[in-house]
């Protein structure tokens, strides 16, 4: 089994209700239009190169108009394929037809797929195509909540079931040489779906190369806090051998995208916030994974962050010296809680094995004798079939416009054990109580929109729990506090401030309009304002106040701006370079410092070359991109406030 065998593909069932079916059994009767549904199966890149096939036998697919499906409700049969599909044959956009059927008009909240595990089979990629051991954990019916309920009119609609293969089949999760089947399925309206696609690369010693098998994870924002990343994982994917990836079937909205290569600890992860997905559009997002340490001494841990009780995962650590170059010192590994997860490094101190002992959370630390240290949080979980779902708290009172209440779904098996299982969330009346649509979240935030009462549902594996939320009228803003309340800046500095709104009882208020202003724009200018947050630019020496106003209440921060220190030295980094004609362009930077050696920012820098026929220069601020053109040597110069630094570049 390859060390890189961590699943992250996607199996998508596209339910395309397109053309309408006309019943012509009675020649003179008016035509009866019934939406006709086509179900197709596809799979994203699947990184198990040691497997020959992954065959899942699909029996039937059904849909339900009920929000609470605990007692089955009205399940409508869509199609009964009753045949096996090899997921490994359905990659890079290839699809397989599952079948066709009709669906009555209505609003559908849930979809379920029934499989026959006795006829499903995974085989190894050996000469005998040996069957792999699979623990199906009693699964036969897989449920998916439709994140945005689909209203199926007589002309039809499109629904997509996204079966995340990467989180559905886990190898050696409990320490045995077998796969554990823990299905992860979500459903969305295809007409409202978008995608994210791009290329993952890395740069080393001036050479850019693709990063295959990079893990791409799409997270939703934290409920009620759009600028904070939550733990709610919307979708996952992997880059191919050319570094390309594409995650489709994403509901419209803003996301955080984390891209990493978990088995290359010398590369840092990149998290991109505020990635906007629009219906029918593919959002481009390409990243270059930076070298760990950024040219400084470092130790960096990478690897999986979840393991089952009794299972073993491998973690890897990379170490760099003061210049960021890889070194291989002895590494000490420890666990914050060996009762939950123990760690050992029997062969290579750069790699450690973590064993899950009991359900819980432990922090794994790696350190060197030189004082470098890094840590990774590992969750040890128990998997199983859900018997009950409850929401904590079961009831709550919120006010219109406040921060709402965070609800947690507690999923238990028949023995009462708490399971590591997400839930889908919905509200009986979204005009009164809004919950963020999520197909598999352990918790969600309920926000009051209007006075009244509504029921919030959490559904996992076909079991549903509920909570009653009462919404009171909104409380007026009583105080506005700007944080920090004061700041001392230097001309050219940027700083961010936040307005905290509270009612008369001291309760925090959110979702209120906030306006920002400066008492002296010649001293302090507001460069961006986003609700309760504002970023300013210190323009010139002097005093000014930054004010935040909401519902007639004002808070302010006092800002003192000192004159900027003049540039004393300019250093071009690196100060020498040898390039070859035809090489890729190379980055250089200018470090500006004052007389005391402090690094200066937000200064104007101009770049030039002593011989444009040898090198060409394109620049942006303190960075320049140099392209070798012809054999020879030239100086690259950077100038700021009359001070100049230079680098010698030789082209051969």
Quote the DSSP letter at residue 117.
G
- Answer whether 206-290 and 569-651 agree in fold: yes
CA–CA distance, 228 with 357 (Å, rounded to integer): 32
Q: What is the pLDDT of residues 367-392, one digit of tens each?
A: 998 888 999 988 887 766 778 899 99
Confidence (pLDDT) at 208: 86
Least trusted range by pLDDT, from 130-134, 280-284, 522-526:
130-134
Q: What is the DSSP string of 81-111?
A: --EEEEGGGS-TT-EEEEEEEE--SEEEEEE
Q: What is the DSSP string of 590-652?
A: EEEE-TT--EE-S---EEEES-TTTEEEEEETTEEEEEE-SSEEEEEEEEETTEEEEEEEEE-
CA–CA distance, 296 with 322 (Å, rounded to integer): 5
Question: How big is the CA angle at 212 (ends 208 and 217), to the nearest 5 degrees?
Answer: 110
Q: What is the pLDDT of residues 214-265, one digit of tens each?
A: 888 888 886 656 667 766 777 777 888 888 988 887 888 889 999 988 778 8
Cα 297 to Cα 325, 440, 465: the distances in Å are 8, 39, 50
CATH number of 294-381: 2.60.40.3440
Question: How big is the CA angle at 66 (ends 61 and 67), to the nearest 5 degrees?
Answer: 110
Higher pLDDT, 175 or 7: 175
Q: Reply yes or no on whether the pLDDT at 338 is more than 90.
A: yes
Confidence (pLDDT) at 67: 65
CATH number of 206-290: 2.60.40.1120
CA–CA distance, 644 with 652 (Å, rounded to integer): 26
Instruction: Give the Cβ contact number of residue 514 at 10 Å.
Output: 20
Confidence (pLDDT) at 68: 58
Least trusted range by pLDDT, from 48-52, 188-192, 359-363, 602-606:
48-52
Question: How big is the CA angle at 651 (ends 650 and 652), to the nearest 5 degrees?
Answer: 120
Start-to-end Cα distance in the chain: 46
**Residue 31 has which token pair?**
């035509």
Q: What is the pLDDT of residues 33-66, one digit of tens each?
A: 445 444 555 444 344 556 778 888 888 888 777 7
Give the number of C-alpha atoms closer than 13 A to the C-alpha of residue 113, restricted to the C-beta side.
28
Question: How big is the CA angle at 80 (ends 75 and 85), to the nearest 5 degrees?
Answer: 125
Confidence (pLDDT) at 127: 73
Model pTM above 0.95: no
Higher pLDDT, 341 or 436: 341
When pLDDT is averaged across residues 14-29 and rounded to a whole number, the result is 38
Q: Reply yes or no on whether the pLDDT at 133 is more than 90.
A: no
Q: Reply yes or no on whether the pLDDT at 9 is more than 50.
A: no
Confidence (pLDDT) at 391: 93
Q: Is 167 helix (H, G, I), strand (E, B) or coil?
A: helix
Confidence (pLDDT) at 91: 55
Ordered by start, the domain boundaries in the chain are 11-192, 206-290, 294-381, 388-472, 479-562, 569-651
Q: Reply yes or no on whether the pLDDT at 22 is more than 60.
A: no
Q: What is the pLDDT of residues 301-310, one digit of tens each?
A: 988 888 877 7
Distant-in-sequence, close-in-space partners of 559: CB < 8 Å, separation ≥ 6:
486, 487, 488, 489, 495, 523, 524, 536, 538, 543, 544, 545, 546
Q: Reply yes or no on whether the pLDDT at 185 is more than 80.
A: no
Q: What is the pLDDT of residues 540-587, one digit of tens each?
A: 899 999 999 999 999 999 999 988 889 999 999 999 999 988 777 788
Distant-in-sequence, close-in-space partners of 409: CB < 8 Å, separation ≥ 6:
389, 390, 391, 422, 423, 425, 441, 442, 443, 444, 458, 460, 465
The radius of gyration computed from the CA coordinates of the chain, to the nearest angstrom, equals: 29
Q: Reply yes or no on whether the pLDDT at 504 is more than 80.
A: yes
Confidence (pLDDT) at 567: 93
When pLDDT is averaged across residues 342-365 and rounded to a whole number, the result is 85
CATH number, domain 479-562, options 3.30.70.1150, 3.30.428.10, 3.40.50.2000, 2.60.40.1080: 2.60.40.1080
What's the gap between Cα 568 and its chain centre?
43
Nearest residue to 279 (alpha-carbon basis) of 323, 248, 234: 248
Instruction: Give the Cβ contact number of residue 255 at 10 Å.
Output: 25
The domain over range 388-472 is classified in CATH as 2.60.40.1080:
yes
Least trusted range by pLDDT, from 357-371, 438-452, 470-484:
438-452
Nearest residue to 323 (alpha-carbon basis) of 288, 298, 350, 289: 298
Higher pLDDT, 446 or 25: 446
User: Which range among 179-188, 204-213, 619-628 has the greatest average pLDDT?
Assistant: 619-628
When pLDDT is averaged across residues 446-469 and rounded to a whole number, the result is 88
Cα 417 to Cα 70, 181, 361, 381, 412: the distances in Å are 19, 18, 16, 11, 5
Q: Reply yes or no on whether the pLDDT at 470 is more than 90.
A: yes
Q: How high is the mean pLDDT of the chain?
A: 80
When pLDDT is averaged across residues 452-468 and rounded to a whole number, the result is 88
Strand bridging mode 553-562 / 486-490: parallel
Query: Residue 227 — left, alpha, or beta (φ > 0 → left; ψ -120 to 50 → alpha)?
Result: alpha
What's the gap between Cα 511 and its chain centre?
24
Q: Reply yes or no on whether the pLDDT at 324 is more than 80.
A: no
Instruction: Give the Cβ contact number of residue 573 at 10 Å.
Output: 14
Distant-in-sequence, close-in-space partners of 568: CB < 8 Å, separation ≥ 6:
593, 594, 595, 643
CA–CA distance, 446 with 293 (Å, rounded to integer): 40
Confidence (pLDDT) at 438: 65
Burial bucket for residue 453 (CB in 10 Å: 0-12, 13-18, 19+): middle
User: Which range among 248-262, 395-409, 603-617 has the greatest average pLDDT?
Assistant: 603-617
CA–CA distance, 467 with 22 (Å, rounded to integer): 43
Confidence (pLDDT) at 518: 95
Confidence (pLDDT) at 144: 63
Q: Reply yes or no on whether the pLDDT at 608 is more than 50.
A: yes
The domain over range 569-651 is classified in CATH as 3.40.640.10:
no
């Amino acid at each position: 089994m390859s060390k890189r065998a961590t699943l992250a593909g996607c199996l998508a069932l596209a339910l395309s209700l397109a053309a309408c079916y006309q019943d012509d059994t009675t020649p003179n009767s008016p035509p009866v239009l019934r939406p006709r549904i086509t179900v197709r199966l596809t799979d994203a890149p699947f990184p198990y190169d040691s497997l020959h096939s992954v065959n899942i036998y699909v029996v039937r697919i059904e849909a339900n108009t009920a929000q609470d499906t605990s007692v089955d409700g009205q399940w409508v049969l869509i199609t009964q394929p009753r045949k096996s599909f090899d997921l490994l044959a359905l990659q890079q956009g290839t699809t397989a037809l599952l079948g066709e059927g009709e669906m009555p008009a209505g609003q559908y909240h849930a979809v379920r797929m029934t499989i026959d595990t006795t006829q499903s089979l995974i085989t190894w990629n050996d000469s005998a195509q040996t069957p792999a051991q699979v623990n199906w954990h009693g699964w036969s019916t897989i449920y998916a909540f439709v994140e945005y309920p689909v209203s199926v009119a007589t002309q039809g609609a499109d629904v997509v079931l996204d079966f995340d293969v990467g989180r559905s089949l886990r190898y050696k999760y409990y320490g045995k040489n077998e796969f554990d089947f823990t299905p992860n399925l979500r459903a969305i309206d295809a007409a409202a779906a978008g995608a994210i696609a791009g290329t993952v690369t890395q740069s080393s010693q001036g050479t850019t190369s693709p990063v295959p098998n990079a893990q791409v994870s799409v997270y939703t924002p934290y409920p009620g806090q759009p600028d904070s990343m939550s733990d709610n994982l919307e979708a996952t994917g992997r880059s191919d051998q050319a570094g390309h990836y594409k995650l489709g079937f994403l509901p419209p909205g803003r996301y955080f995208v984390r891209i990493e290569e978990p088995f290359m600890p010398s590369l840092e992860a990149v998290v991109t916030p505020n990635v906007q997905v629009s219906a029918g559009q593919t959002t481009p997002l390409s990243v270059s994974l930076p070298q760990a340490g950024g040219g400084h001494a470092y130790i960096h841990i990478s690897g999986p962050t979840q393991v089952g009780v009794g299972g073993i995962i491998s973690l890897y650590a990379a170490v760099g010296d003061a210049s960021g170059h890889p070194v291989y010192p002895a590494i000490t590994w420890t666990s914050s809680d060996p009762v939950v997860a123990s760690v050992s490094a029997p062969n290579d101190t750069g790699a450690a094995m973590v064993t899950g002992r009991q359900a819980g959370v432990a922090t794994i630390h790696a350190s060197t004798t030189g004082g470098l240290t890094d840590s990774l949080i590992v969750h040890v979980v128990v998997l199983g079939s859900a018997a009950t779902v409850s929401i904590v708290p079961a009831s709550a009172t919120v006010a219109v416009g406040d921060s709402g209440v965070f609800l947690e779904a507690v999923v238990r098996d028949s023995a009462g054990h708490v399971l590591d299982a997400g839930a889908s969330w919905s509200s009986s009346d979204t005009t009164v109580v809004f919950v963020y649509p999520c197909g598999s979240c352990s918790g969600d935030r309920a926000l009051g929109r209007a006075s009244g009462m509504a029921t919030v549902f959490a559904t996992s594996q076909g079991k549903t729990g509920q909570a009653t939320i009462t919404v009171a009228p909104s409380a007026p803003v009583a105080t506005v506090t700007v944080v920090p309340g004061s700041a001392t800046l230097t001309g050219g500095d940027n700083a961010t401030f936040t307005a905290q709104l509270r009612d008369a009882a001291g309760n925090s208020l959110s979702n209120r309009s906030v306006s920002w202003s400066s008492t002296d724009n010649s001293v302090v200018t507001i460069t961006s304002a986003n609700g309760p947050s504002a970023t300013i630019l210190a323009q010139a020496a002097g005093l000014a106040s930054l004010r935040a106003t909401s519902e007639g209440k004002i808070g302010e921060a006092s800002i003192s701006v000192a004159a900027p220190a003049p540039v004393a030295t300019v250093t071009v980094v690196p100060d020498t370079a040898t390039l070859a004609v035809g090489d890729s362009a190379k980055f250089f930077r200018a470090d500006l410092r004052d007389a005391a050696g402090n690094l200066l920012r937000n200064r104007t820098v101009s770049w030039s070359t002593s011989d444009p026929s040898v090198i060409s220069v394109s620049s942006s601020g303190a960075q320049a991109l140099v392209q070798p053109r012809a054999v020879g040597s030239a100086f690259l110069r950077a100038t700021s406030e009359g001070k100049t630094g230079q680098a010698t570049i030789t082209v051969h």
